[in-house]
């Protein structure tokens, strides 16, 4: 692990081991390597598919090029970065590095003129970022799905545990812990499905998107069709109509969907934090952990707080990316370039948050003693049931009667039963209400 306390981002020091997979997808190394692979693949594509216009390439040369790609590592990155210092152009540095390799081979040196043929750097970048974001999103879907699985497991485990709901922070009609957790897994399932349907897009059409260089060089080739075939070999779709840049609308769609996933998880993190604060959930003690530097008794809900903070960071970045990346002056300006380099940071903070949330969820357990006490001390929540039965039996002022009895007051079992017995309703309805308790008044929550 390349670890340094001198890195400015906590993702590259404190949390480095928690986002290692995303670092492999979004790092500078990954970006350079992706550009490198695309440049070589494009040359091979031309020579293999359009031999009438481009010199065919032998199996032995193909083997050399594939080995060149497969062996790409840190030393190659360092050499490319050294060239970039001279060129002050990152994509051109990749091209020159490939040229130097070709120069050293008596066969490949005959193909130097086809390196970066017809391309603008934005073509290479467009496909590179499409691949990186595609892979990063797939990883993020995997992490969100793992979290959903934990939520679903706990939902099923605690499906029969009744507890007091809160609306506006006040006691409300009881539910079950399982059903309330199921709300979050269902929301996640829907949004993950939406995210999966977003199609990554790229362009490969030269400066200002009109295939100028391709058409002037060989007008016999259907270049939009060729471009589409090449892009789709990476399982990325072609955006046929662009300026010099691919407009990034699909990136904004992706990040907006990721934000909605983040918000679902943020909502859950805050709810669980409140449940812990109200002793509805208790945290399992982990040997060796310290809750507070000065208060030994504390077991802090730090995993949920960490998740909340990092989800917020990810959302803030996504909001800026979505707003910024979909705008470019005229046929292009370069302000999107430096912004795109930071996209992986948003994924990193979201991933970090999901890890923390999953860790926290595996530490909580329902505090049945407190849950039962809350239900036993809030019989007034049954007034909803009572006034509904009264309405059913034709009592016009049912709500007003219950309001006078319970608004701003606490009812206990005795006062509830006493009131029900005074009601002018059928014996069947009265028996139903007398059997009802805050524990049993959960509607269809268990089925849901």
Query: Residue 129: is it exposed, middle or buried by C-beta count within 10 angstroms (0-12/13-18/19+)?
Result: buried
Is 205 designated active site? Answer: no
Selecting among 58, 292, 335, 440, the annotated active-site residue is 292
Q: How far is CA 268 from CA 27, 242, 265, 321, 357, in A?
A: 30, 40, 5, 25, 9
| Start-to-end C-alpha separation, the chain | 46
Q: Quick check: is 152 catalytic?
A: no
- Strand 237-238 with 364-366, pairing: unpaired
Residue bearing tokens 């030269």: 206
Catalytic residue among 4, 168, 293, 297: 168
How is residue 295 written in tokens? Answer: 């208060």
Q: What are phi and psi of 15, to 5 degrees?
A: -110, 15
Beta bridge partner(s), residue 320: none
**CA distances (Å), origin 24, targets 28, 132, 204, 355:** 9, 10, 25, 17
Our separate counts of H helices and E strands in the chain read 18, 6
Contacts of 167 (CB under 8 A, 6+ apart): none
> Crossing angle of helices 249-277/343-361, nearest 10°?
30
What positions carry a catalytic annotation?
168, 292
């Amino acid at each position: 692990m390349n670890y340094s306390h001198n890195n400015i981002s906590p993702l590259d020091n404190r949390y480095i081991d928690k986002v290692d997979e995303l670092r492999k997808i979004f790092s500078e190394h990954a970006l350079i390597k992706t550009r490198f692979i695309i440049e070589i693949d494009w040359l091979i594509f031309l020579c293999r598919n359009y031999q009438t216009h481009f010199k065919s390439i032998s199996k032995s040369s193909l083997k050399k090029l594939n080995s060149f790609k497969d062996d790409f590592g840190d030393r190659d990155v360092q050499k490319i970065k050294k060239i970039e210092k001279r060129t002050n152009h990152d994509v051109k540095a990749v091209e020159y590095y490939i040229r130097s390799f070709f120069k050293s081979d008596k066969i490949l040196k005959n193909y130097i003129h086809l390196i970066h043929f017809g391309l603008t750097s934005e073509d290479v970048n467009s496909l590179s970022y499409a691949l990186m974001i595609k892979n990063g999103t797939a990883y993020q879907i995997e992490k969100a799905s793992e979290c959903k699985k934990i939520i679903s497991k706990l939902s099923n485990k605690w499906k029969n545990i009744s507890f007091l709901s809160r609306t506006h922070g006040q006691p409300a009609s009881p539910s079950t812990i399982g059903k309330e957790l199921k709300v979050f897994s269902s929301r996640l399932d829907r949004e993950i499905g939406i995210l999966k349907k977003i199609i990554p897009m790229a362009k490969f059409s030269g400066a200002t998107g009109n295939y100028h260089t391709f058409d002037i060089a060989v007008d016999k080739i259907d270049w939009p069709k060729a471009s589409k075939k090449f892009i789709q070999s990476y399982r990325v779709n072609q955006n046929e109509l662009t300026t010099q840049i691919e407009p990034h609308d699909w990136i904004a769609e992706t990040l907006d969907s990721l934000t909605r996933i983040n918000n679902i998880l943020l909502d859950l993190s805050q709810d669980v934090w409140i449940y812990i604060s109200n002793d509805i959930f208790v945290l399992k003690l982990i040997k060796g952990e310290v809750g507070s530097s000065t208060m030994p008794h504390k077991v802090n809900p730090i995993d949920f707080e960490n998740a909340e903070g990092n989800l917020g960071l990810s959302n803030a970045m996504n909001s800026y990316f979505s707003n910024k990346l979909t705008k470019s002056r005229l046929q292009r300006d370069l302000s999107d370039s430096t912004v795109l380099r930071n996209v992986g940071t948003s994924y990193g903070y979201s991933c970090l948050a999901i890890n923390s949330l999953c860790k926290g969820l595996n530490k909580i357990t329902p505090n049945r003693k407190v849950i039962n006490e809350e239900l036993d001390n809030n019989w007034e929540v049954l007034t909803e049931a009572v006034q509904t039965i009264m309405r059913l039996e034709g009592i016009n002022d049912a709500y007003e009667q219950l309001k006078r009895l319970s608004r701003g007051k606490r009812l206990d079992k005795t006062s509830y039963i006493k009131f029900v017995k005074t009601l002018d309703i059928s014996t069947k309805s009265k028996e139903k209400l007398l059997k009802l308790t805050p524990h049993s008044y959960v509607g269809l929550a268990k089925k849901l």
